[in-house]
Amino acid sequence: MDASMFRAWIHEAARSVTENADHLTRLDSAVGDADHGINMRRGLQAAVAMLDETNPSTPGGVLATVGRALISKTGGASGPLYGTGFRQAARTLGQEPDVSAAQLGAALAAAVAGIQRIGAALEGDKTMIDALSPAVTAYQAVIDTGGDLAGATRAAYDAAARGLKQTADMQARKGRASYLGARTIGHEDPGAASTVLILSALATVCSAGERRTKGHQ
Amino acid sequence: MKKLINSPDEVLADALVGVAAAHPSLTVNASDRYIARAGGPTPGKVGLVSGGGSGHEPLHGGFVGHGMLDAACPGEVFTSPVPDQILAATRAVDGGAGVLHIVKNYTGDVLNFQMAADLAADYGVRVEGVVVNDDVAVENSTWTAGRRGTGATVFVEKIVGAAAELGADLGTLAALGREVNDRSRSFGVALTSCTVPASGKPGFELGEDEVELGVGIHGEPGRARGRLTSAREIVGVALDAIHADMPLSGGVLVMVNGLGGTPLIELYVVYAAVAEWLAGHGVWITRNLVGNYVTSLEMAGCTITVCRLTPQLTHLWDAPVVTPALRWGR
């Protein structure tokens, strides 16, 4: 994976989040303050604009730029949390011009660790971690058994989607939703939902990359 | 959605233009998005910075001025400000004695202010933070993100602001802010929802005969839904909850705060019930505020905040203040 593929991922994530902003906001109005879709759209569109402007040449450079954009434009809790995740991933990738599937796995694991460090959320708290953490585990399992990037990102997406579904049964213990207590049960977590969209974008771009590579052979 | 706006995405920017035009005593930095005193930092005085989502006016921009805040960082509507914004405001008001951040306990606010404080350290600005968490409606706090910060924020900003004007140092002000917070409790009641401009739809639905008990200052639903009864009964629920959490005694400061959609006549009805309840429990009101201080756009309802005063806190409350929304003594 080179910088152009990471850029394609963020473009696709921004497109998908923009398209689903109303859905994210609806989920947030059930448990929070009805701005998650609006914030994520603003943050990711700012990330795309900053990428187009600065055109970083390495995957790490792309993710660092995205992290900076999210922290400085998103607001709310999602800005610092996602921003920190992308910046930690960037740090792991360093200045490598090309990144292997295993390196991306390490970067995703670093992102989860960074988000957990500042958000202090664990699995079961009904947050983005409930989608992200199983996704990284699933990604790693595919890579460990000799799978490829497309398979690993698809597995990550599937695990995140399952994790999102499970958040509906949970009672929120972090963030603004926690103030509602038991009334959060029955609603999917908006942060987990945006995580699914971002991982879905990754899987889409990696599958397209795979098809392109195979087409050339 | 019916609102007097130009475009849902430009509400904050347009409002800041209005703030700048209306208040020559303030300076508005449109690109970094903060509101500060026009005179710049006072050398040797600790700078006070607060902030949070917009939609709570006059909180916080309306409390910038002599005797209260040095700067306020308004985020997008109901969304915390971002670190760049807070950092810019922090650096702008540092008069060499450090800067105190007054932060309401919402995850987004806490995270963004923390990141800004870390960045400020890189520029050699000493920063301390006071987290306000006065809302008794949140139970079970070991499992949640803790109590929300609501009305007591105004008390902390006013009392700490007065002490800062008198030359107290950063550590003293942080301790004072925590003391005010520890002595204050709030409870909120919503009668309607409100509409965030960028979303265009009400945050939640409430039936004609329903109230949301224990709301924060956002469109977020409260902890429980009840039937709309008399103001006296609702005040009883609120003050019972406050009293159970922090037994009330002696002289208190009371704020009956409108959430944006409730006329003053109803707030006075509520105030009468508050005074009656307190008198019945041997508590007397020595200072008060009745009006819209921490709003939630056009949400109907109110929050009740009580602070158990000490002579020192009373003295600081009475000290002169000159801001767009709070003004006395000078």
Indicate if the pLDDT at residue A181 is higher than 50: yes
pLDDT value at position B141?
46
ipTM of the complex: 0.87
Give the pLDDT score at A175: 79
Chain B contacts to A (CB-CB under 8 A): 53, 75-84, 106-108, 111-112, 114-115, 137-140, 143-145, 148, 196, 198-199, 201, 203-204, 216, 218-221, 223
Asked if the C-beta of A181 comes within 8 angstroms of chain B's C-beta atoms, the answer is: yes
A74 touches chain B (CB under 8 A): yes
Tens of pLDDT, residue by residue over B256-312, are 999 999 999 999 999 999 999 999 999 999 999 999 999 999 999 999 999 999 999
Residue B13 pLDDT level (bands cut at 50, 70, 90): very high
**Angle of the A149-167 helix axis to the A129-144 helix axis, nearest 10:** 150
Q: Is pLDDT larger for residue B213 or for residue B86?
A: B86
A3-215 belongs to which CATH class? Answer: mainly alpha
pLDDT band at B219 (very low <50, low <70, confident <90, very high): low
| 3-state per-residue secondary structure call for chain A | CCHHHHHHHHHHHHHHHHHCHHHHHHHHHHHCCCCHHHHHHHHHHHHHHHHHHHCCCCHHHHHHHHHHHHHHHCCCCHHHHHHHHHHHHHHHHCCCCCCCHHHHHHHHHHHHHHHHHHHCCCCCCCCCHHHHHHHHHHHHHHHHCCCCHHHHHHHHHHHHHHHHHHHCCCCCCCCHHHHHHHHHCCCCCHHHHHHHHHHHHHHHHHHHHHHHHHHHC
Which of these ranges, A172-181, B82-91, B139-148, B182-191, has the smallest mean pLDDT? B139-148
B95 burial type by CB count under 10 A (0-12 exposed, 13-18 middle, 19+ buried): middle
Give me the pLDDT at residue B215, please. 79
A96-118, pLDDT tens digit by residue? 999 999 999 999 999 999 999 99
Q: Are A202 and A142 in contact (CB under 8 A)?
A: no
A144-153 pLDDT, tens digit per residue, is: 999 999 999 9
Judged by CB atoms closer than 8 Å, whether chains meet at B223 and A181 is answered as yes
**Residues B38 and B71: beta-carbon distance below 8 Å:** no
Using a CB-CB cut-off of 8 Å, the residues of chain B touching A33 are 53, 78, 196, 203, 218-220
Residue B64 is given by DSSP the state B
Listed range (A27-31, A62-66, B157-161, B320-324) with the worst mean pLDDT: A27-31
Q: Is B199 in Cβ contact with A29 (below 8 Å)?
A: yes
Residues in B closer than 8 angstroms to A128, CB to CB, are none
Domains of chain B: 10-183 (3.40.50.10440), 184-321+324-328 (3.30.1180.20)
Q: Is a pLDDT exceeding 60 seen at residue B142? A: no
3-state secondary structure of B72: strand
B218 is catalytic: yes
Region A193-199 average pLDDT: 98
pLDDT in tens, B118-129: 999 999 999 999
Q: Could you tell me the pLDDT band of residue B163, with boundaries at 50, 70 and 90?
A: very high
Tell me what the mean pLDDT of segment B23-30 comes to: 97
Active site residue B281: no
pLDDT at position B159: 98
Angle, CA of B164, B170 and B172, to the nearest 5°: 80
Q: What is the largest CA-CA distance in chain A?
A: 55
Specify the higher pLDDT residue, B263 or A178: B263
Q: Is the pLDDT of residue A213 over 70?
A: no
> Is A72 touching B (CB cutoff 8 A)?
yes
* pLDDT (0 to 100) of residue B143: 52
Express each pLDDT in A15-49 by its tens digit: 999 999 999 988 888 877 778 999 999 999 999 99
Query: What average pLDDT does range B32-47 have in this prediction?
Result: 96
Distance (Å, whole) CA B247 – CA B245: 6
Which residues of chain A have a CB within 8 Å of the CB of B139?
181
Chain B nearest-CA distance from A101, in A, is 31
To probe the interface with A, which of B31, B34, B82 has the most A CB atoms within 10 Å? B82
- DSSP states along B22-45: H-TTEEEETTTTEEEETT-PPTTS
- Closest approach of B162 to chain A, Cα-based (Å): 30
Nearest CA in chain A to B219: A33
Out of A113-127, B128-142, B146-160, least confident range: B128-142
Among candidates B80, B203, B223 on the partner chain, residue whose Cβ is nearest the Cβ of A76: B80
